[in-house]
Structure 1
Amino acid sequence: MGAFDRLVLFSEVRGTVLKHGAPVAGAELIQKVVWSDNENEIAPQRAVTDEKGAFRFQPITRAAWFLRLIPAQPIMLQKIVIRYEGVEYTAWRHSKNSYDADTELDGRPIRLVCELTSQPDYDGKHYGICRAEVD
């Protein structure tokens, strides 16, 4: 990455929400990120699942300015929650320590399957009901 390329605070996310293995239409997902190098709150992104239970979040990025030139360890606290039928589910919690894209899953894109009947647990480095799809 170049010195002034955009900083990726949360890579693109695609996924599917299921309940008892069936697609869930109309579930609301809220994606949030707290960034250690920014005092201002970053507005959450929202998505709603389609009839196949699919959702997508664009990457959350910021201008690099001089941050890539200053030696520091970035920390982005990432969270996705799912709201469906009056219940809120912890879908994804993760600490990202790199400004590069797709570092959450060690270079793989974030493709999630979120089963509402699952209990939140760790899946590799992230916590929640969503599991990363394996290619």
Structure 2
Amino acid sequence: MSLFFGGEKKEAVLFSPLEGKITFEGKPTAGAKIKLWFAWKDKEGESFYYTADENGFFKIPKHTTTYKETPLAQLVISQEITVGHEGKPYEMWAMSKMDPAIFTELGGEPINLRCELTNDLTTIRGNHSLGGTACIWDSLNN
């Protein structure tokens, strides 16, 4: 019976903390509206909203949950970030991750993150993650 109803309770990081600077054509996006959306247990998911400061800096805190691990199902977390700037939406982040640990979206903690809204999304392939981002960083701190 434990195969179907048991399972160890674990913490899952639905979205790792992220901070950096958003620019549009190289200029800071003062007051840009940031929408974080992620889903893991249903299609509706959850949305959270943040605002970039006068220099385009933003900070998104870590979002976690607890779940019961089971060999009959694979945890999959979908993530999206869109940024509203001058009345237009820009896609900045589209990721999926299957590892519930922190920073598995990018293979480690991003350092000096910079996101240019005019950039196309660049494919990021991590260990148990896949997606795209308009952001770059100098190095990862594992």
The TM-score, its normalising length taken from structure 1, stands at: 0.81
**1:13–1:110 Cα contact (<8 Å) kept:** no
Distance in 1, matches of 2:84 and 2:113, equals 16
Letter in 1 for 2:109: R
Q: Which residue of 1 aligns with 2:102?
A: 101
Size of the aligned set, in residue pairs, is: 127
Structure 2 spans left out of the alignment, 5+ residues = 1-7, 126-130
**2:91–2:117 Cα contact (<8 Å) kept:** no
1:45-73 per-residue CA deviation (whole Å, 9 max, x = no partner) reads 11100012111111121123xx13x2242
Distance change >3 Å, CA 10–CA 110, structure 1 → 2:
farther
Distance in 2, matches of 1:131 and 1:93, equals 14
Letter in 2 for 1:16: K
**2:77–2:96 Cα contact (<8 Å) kept:** yes
Tell whether 2:16 aligns with 1:15.
no
* Corresponding residue to 1:130 among 126, 135, 138: 135
Letter in 1 for 2:122: Y
Structure 1 spans left out of the alignment, 5+ residues = none
Relative to its length, the structure with more strand (as a share) is 2
Distance change >3 Å, CA 27–CA 111, structure 1 → 2:
same
Question: CA shift at 1:8, angstroms?
Answer: 0.8
Question: CA shift at 1:110, angstroms?
Answer: 7.4
The TM-score, its normalising length taken from structure 2, stands at: 0.77
Give % identity.
31
Letter in 2 for 1:87: K
Correspondence 1:4-83 to 2 at 5 A: 4-35=9-40, 38-39=41-42, 41-64=44-67, 67-68=68-69, 70-71=70-71, 72-83=73-84
The 10-residue stretch of structure 1 (76-85 or 101-110) with the greater mean CA deviation from structure 2 = 101-110
Greater C-alpha Rg: 2
Question: CA shift at 1:89, angstroms?
Answer: 0.5
Question: CA shift at 1:109, angstroms?
Answer: 4.1
Pairwise CA RMSD of aligned residues? 2.1
Distance change >3 Å, CA 16–CA 41, structure 1 → 2:
same
